[in-house]
């Protein structure tokens, strides 16, 4: 019985934390004014990733912002996500990547954060560690950045298909539709 009460208390705290964070996010989102561009702007930004790209024929306009704004947004959303611990098959990399994409769109109105499937290896030895989902964001200058919620919320500008961030090398396999 005590375990059930503790579980209920944890869920209540998580829910309250998320609600407060979402309220603060909605206030912060008023300062972000997105730049609207076409699919061609997304297409040219992600072509250099040298990976399979799944396109989305449903969106017509793409909403961008500066990298400074993206940093603020990623910090805000990451501060919510980190309260929900990583759990295999329940809240693992694909779910967390989808959360980041969804929150950026729903709260901030930016649909230029998407999921990317990649192979992660040790940056020094090249030994493959695992296959992984994380995020790519595109700023209003057409630059791509890698964001990994499962790697402490680290982010890095992408200049090659083998992006090194921390002790990990990310080789992009597939970019999910924007």
pLDDT at 51 (0 to 100): 66
C-alpha span between 151 and 149 (Å, rounded): 5
pLDDT at 144 (0 to 100): 93
Q: Does the predicted TM-score (pTM) go above 0.85?
A: no
> Which residue, 101, 178, 132, is CA-closest to 163?
132
pLDDT at 177 (0 to 100): 62
pLDDT tens, per residue, the chain with 178 residues: 444 444 555 556 656 666 666 666 655 556 666 776 666 666 666 666 766 666 555 667 888 899 999 999 999 888 888 888 788 888 899 999 999 999 999 888 899 999 999 999 999 999 999 999 999 999 999 899 999 999 989 999 998 888 999 999 999 998 876 5
Could you tell me if residue 158 is left (phi over 0), alpha (psi between -120 and 50 degrees) or otherwise beta? beta
3-class SS letters over the chain:
CHHHHHHHHHHHHHHHHHHHHHHHHHHHHCCCCCEEECHHHHHHHHHHHCCEECCCCCCCCEEECCHHHHHHHHHHHHHHHCCCCCECCCECHHHHHHHHHHHHHHHHCCCCEEEEEEEEEECCCCCEEEEEEEEEEECCCCCEEEEEHHHCCEEEECCCCEEEECCEEEEEEEECCC
pLDDT at 176 (0 to 100): 73
Residue 67 belongs to domain spanning:
2-175
C-alpha span between 55 and 35 (Å, rounded): 20
The domain that holds 152 is classified in CATH as 3.30.460.70
Number of domains in the chain: 1
- Characterize the bridge pairing of strands 35-37 and 52-53: unpaired
pLDDT at 17 (0 to 100): 65
């Amino acid at each position: 019985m005590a375990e059930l009460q503790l579980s209920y208390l944890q869920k209540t705290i998580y829910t309250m934390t998320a609600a407060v964070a979402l309220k603060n996010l909605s206030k912060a989102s008023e300062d972000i004014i997105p730049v609207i561009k076409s699919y061609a702007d997304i297409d040219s930004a992600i072509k250099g990733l040298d990976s399979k790209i799944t396109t989305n024929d449903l969106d017509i306009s793409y909403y961008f912002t500066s990298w400074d704004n993206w940093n603020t947004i990623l910090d805000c959303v990451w501060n919510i996500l980190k309260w929900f611990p990583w759990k295999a098959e329940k809240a693992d990399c694909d779910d967390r990547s989808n959360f980041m994409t969804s929150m950026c769109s729903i709260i901030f109105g930016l649909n230029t954060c998407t999921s990317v499937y990649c192979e992660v290896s040790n940056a020094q030895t090249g030994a493959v560690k695992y296959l992984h989902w994380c995020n790519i964001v595109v700023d209003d200058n057409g630059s791509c950045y890698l964001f990994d919620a499962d790697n402490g919320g680290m982010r890095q500008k992408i200049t090659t298909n083998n992006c090194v961030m921390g002790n990990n090398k990310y080789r992009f396999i597939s970019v999910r539709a924007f």
